[in-house]
Structure 1
Amino acid sequence: MDVSSFVLLSHEQALRRQLDVTANNMANSSTVGFKREQPLFHEYVEKVQEAPVDDAKKTSFVLDFGAVHDAAQGAFQATGNPLDVMIDGSGYLNVEAPGGGVAYTRAGFIKVLETGELATAGGQRLLDANGRPITVPREQISSITIAQDGTVMAADGPVGRIAISAFASETQVDPRGDGLMNGSNGRFLAPTEARLKIGGVEASNVQPIVETTKMVEILRAYQTSVAISDSMNSMRQRAIERLGKM
């Protein structure tokens, strides 16, 4: 394969990555708290010492550099459950990760376990700023409410406050599956900074029409790349045939 074929191959691999990300966005258009992803690419320039013309001494390739999240907030989706919450603004709920440690989520479906501990719909226990589960006395479970700053109130007063962590950049947060995220270098939001909407959750910020349009554009770009590759192969074949006649 010559250099042009490698350039086209890198372009087609980038398009494949874009298609995978777009398809994943489409699949999660109804997933609570899901943030659409955008692939991130870098240009890699390779230089050679000799070439027929100066412009041919530099060759640009496309490199997959990962994906970033669109931090735009999804719409409020009322559920009728007074314990469900939506973070109004940036930040993530702190939950206990499967296997230990801390994970982060925007999915605010909240329930009370038999132990009296608050947990997400997936069973991950909600944590406070000290990394401890928030437990409500069993006899007071029916009276609990959640304030806009994340404070959990029971009949006898507050029993804890849900920790909400914010990150300077969405590149510090990576999906780990089941609506959970890994994160690094986050900071806890103070009660005056945290804002929760009660009685509902955050809908996905994916816009199906936008993603469908993007998918069509990707497919057209791929078809164009394949057509160029076919044309180049035909040119090589004709050149070989002419050389053979000479």
Structure 2
Amino acid sequence: MENFEASVGYGWYILTGAWATVQLTVFSCAVALVIAMVTGVAMTRNSHLLRLVARFYVEFFRGTSVFVQLFAAYFVLPLIGITLSPIQAGVLALGLNGGAYGSEVVRAAINAVGRDQREATIALNLTGWQALWWVILPQAVVLMLPSFGNLAIEIMKGTAVASLITVSELTFQAQTVRSQTGDTAIPFLLIMVTYLAMASLMMSFVRWLEKRFGRGITSEST
């Protein structure tokens, strides 16, 4: 009985880390989405400078380890007067890293919109930005959603690296229980199930968005 109560207590302790994981996931995805949209659009513009800056950002954050980016956010930024909490450092690193990968998704989706759509915007005498906002992006978003869903799940799984800077998320809590009890199987089995449940919820939400946005595009085109 005592072992059962202890197991329940440790299980609950591990699950309390889910809130930190959710926070990291939501805020990191928000940062990644904003950066991906801005950078992805910049890579499709005619400005050579915009494309150059966007490409440098993408190659830098895709070409360096998220571990290094996390440590830089938490340990290096204070050297120049920018001190972040562990959660803030985790959100910054994961958001910037995810945004670099998301930028390519945005760029590819925009370029995938049919040439006839672009020609129609010229016929309507729309400016480049009006065409992007009112015609190109609404269609591109539908193409982006599956890849953005996968990226969100990768960011969610990547939140485990935040345990390295003492963020009390799922992995950190499981490691704490393992060090205190010597039990490895139950703590990590529990967080595996929790990650799977969170990923399933996220993909269900993305599929709903696909249907919702897809319906809107279909109704507009008929």
Q: TM-score, normalised by structure 2?
A: 0.30
Relative contact order higher in (CA < 8 Å, ≥ 6 apart): 2
More strand by share: 1
- TM-score, normalization: structure 1? 0.27
Q: Which structure: greater helix fraction?
A: 2
